[in-house]
C-alpha cells in the first residue's frame, strides 16, 4: 500500500510540475459590444445569444510558444451589471477595451498596455488574440 501511495504522489507531483505556466491577467472591458463573443471565439465554442455578464466572468486560455507554457486569464467585466467594476482590475497585465473606451480608460493604470477594438467582427478574433500574446510575452521577457 505504501509503495502505491509513493508512486501516485511522485507521478502526481511530476504532472503538476510540468504543467506550470506563466500566467497573465487580461481585463476585457467595454459596453455590450462583443466581449463574450470574443471569448467564446477564443475558446472555439459556438456562438449563441448571450445574456448580460453580471459582475465578472473569468476564462482561462492556455497556449505554448517557443517551448514555454502560458495561461491568459480573461476577466470579462459586465457592462450593465459591473459589480466591483474597476476593482476587478487589480494586478492586470493587459486590457482589451471594446467599443467606446472613454469610461473604461480610467480603469486601466498608465503602465498597463491596452488593445482597443472598435466595431468588433468575428474575423478580428485571431488578430486581437495574437496582439495580446505578443504584448504579454515580449513584455514578460524584458
Going along the chain from its start, the domains and CATH numbers come out as: 20-140 (3.40.50.300)
Angstrom distance (rounded) from CA 39 to CA 76? 8
DSSP SS3 for 18: helix
Report the 10 Å Cβ neighbour count for 55.
13
Task: Report pTM.
Answer: 0.78
Element (H, E) at 63: strand 56-65
pLDDT for residue 44: 86
Q: Tell me the pLDDT band of 142, cut-offs 50, 70 and 90.
A: low
Q: Tell me the pLDDT band of 19, cut-offs 50, 70 and 90.
A: low
pLDDT for residue 83: 64
Residue 28 bridge partners (DSSP)? 76, 96
DSSP SS3 for 33: coil
pLDDT for residue 88: 78
**How do residues 24-73 score in pLDDT, each as one tens digit?**
999 999 887 788 889 989 988 877 776 777 778 899 999 988 888 999 99
Q: Tell me the pLDDT band of 4, cut-offs 50, 70 and 90.
A: very low
pLDDT for residue 107: 85
Amino acid at each position: 500500500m505504501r509503495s502505491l501511495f509513493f508512486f501516485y504522489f511522485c507521478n502526481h507531483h511530476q504532472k503538476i510540475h510540468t504543467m506550470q505556466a506563466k500566467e497573465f491577467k487580461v481585463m476585457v472591458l467595454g459596453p455590450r459590444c462583443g466581449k463574450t463573443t470574443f471569448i467564446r471565439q477564443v475558446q472555439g465554442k459556438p456562438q449563441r445569444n448571450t445574456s448580460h455578464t453580471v459582475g465578472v466572468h473569468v476564462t482561462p486560455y492556455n497556449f505554448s510558444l517557443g517551448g514555454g507554457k502560458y495561461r491568459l486569464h480573461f476577466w470579462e467585466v459586465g457592462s450593465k451589471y459591473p459589480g466591483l467594476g474597476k476593482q476587478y482590475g487589480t494586478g492586470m497585465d493587459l486590457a482589451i477595451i471594446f467599443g467606446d473606451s472613454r469610461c473604461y480608460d480610467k480603469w486601466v493604470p498608465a503602465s498597463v498596455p491596452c488593445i482597443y477594438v472598435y466595431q468588433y467582427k468575428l474575423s478580428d478574433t485571431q488578430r486581437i488574440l495574437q496582439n495580446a500574446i505578443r504584448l504579454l510575452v515580449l513584455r514578460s521577457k524584458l
